[in-house]
Amino acid sequence: MKRIALALVLITTAVSAADKKILIQHTGRQSWVSDAAALASYRAAAGSGADIVVARTAEEFAREVPSADGIIGGVSKELYPQAKKLKWVQTISAGVEQFSFWPEFVNSPVTLTNCKVVQGPTIADHAFAMLLALTRGLNFYIPNRVKKEWGGRGEGPTGMTELPGMTAVIIGAGGIGTQIAQRAHGFGMKVIGVDPEPIPVSNYFSQIVPPDRLNEVLPQADVVFVSAPLTPKSEHMIAGPQFDAMKKGAYFVAVSRGRLYEKAALVKALDSKKLAGAGLDVTDPEPLPPGDSLWNFDNVVITPHVASAAEGSNQRRVGVISENIRRFAKGEPLINVVNKAKGY
């Protein structure tokens, strides 16, 4: 009888140990978040403190939401009312705008964490790839391969230039913006940051100003990088007056969210030749429709929101998610906690 009682105690303990359920929705578009290696990392991190449940279809996900304590990825407004046990949501990106414009979630006790900082190196590389494509005329020369034309200097684009001595204004001096600043500094550029937080000046930033001083520093910019999160306060913060404040011949590179800038104002600045060119990994809307006027400019480089795509970036994001799973399973404080009221 003692052995039976002991066995029952052990079984009960084993069952109650994993009293938390963490739900992950598998998607083909972001398969790295739930591939075999990622799931092995999550389960090792959870140990006996939480069960990792993978939903392979939208129907499975909807069925599992009511009993989920944590969700990796996100939850829709339609399913959220059913998530009665939900305590934690971990996004797989740095941006959390899908929650920032949602008062019911912002005012809820659910903890929100993101993958800030870890995507910074990859996105910063992409930002400079776009800038260099424009300053070195690659947007003009790359299509020559298809036409099998050599093309000479005399036929190339005018205004090819170099980066040393330029001034970069980086809107959003957080994890991504700091990585952009490091690269800009390495190229011999002066760097000015714009951020609502009191970020101290570093070796990379010569100056950091709050958003209400944006128009003061824009006239100094040879290139403007947009790496700020999308929040109710930052939406369309770069509009007609801001493009007007930029110097003639400046470059504009956006790698965070398309709704930070007004597309019509950008088109006007390009059409009037106020800007030398633009690099856009993010637009509004996405995908950019075939008939959109941005496709008409030879000096605009457009990529389909892929700046964070890299094996290293994905591995670092899995590392953040795994660490938070470990902490959640053990009841420890989470990392990368988002201030839901601020949106970052």
**What are residue 242's phi and psi, to 5 degrees?**
-75, -40
Contact 219, 243 (CB under 8 A): no
- Which is catalytic among the residues 64, 126, 183, 257? 257
Phi, psi at 281, each rounded to 5°: -90, -15
Q: Which helix (H) or strand (E) covers residue 52, if one does?
A: strand 51-55
CB proximity list for 318: less than 8 A, separation 6 or greater: 32, 33, 37, 38, 41
Classify residue 202 as exposed, middle or buried by CB count within 10 Å of its CB (0-12, 13-18, 19+): middle
Of 76, 24, 93, residue with least CA distance to 52: 24
> Which residue, among 15, 13, 36, has the nearest Cα to 24 in the 3D structure?
36
Decide if 286 is catalytic: yes
- C-alpha span between 91 and 116 (Å, rounded): 10
Catalytic annotation on 78? Answer: no
Q: Out of 104, 197, 216, 286, which one is annotated catalytic?
A: 286
Q: φ, ψ for residue 20 (rounded to 5)?
A: -120, 140
How buried is 191 (Cβ within 10 angstroms: 0-12 exposed, 13-18 middle, 19+ buried)?
A: buried
**Beta carbons of 218 and 245 less than 8 angstroms apart:** yes
Q: 172: helix, coil or strand?
A: coil
236 catalytic? Reply is no
Return the sign of the alpha-carbon dihedral for residues 181, 208, 302, 310: positive
The catalytically annotated residue of 43, 136, 236, 305 is 305
Catalytic residue list: 257, 286, 305
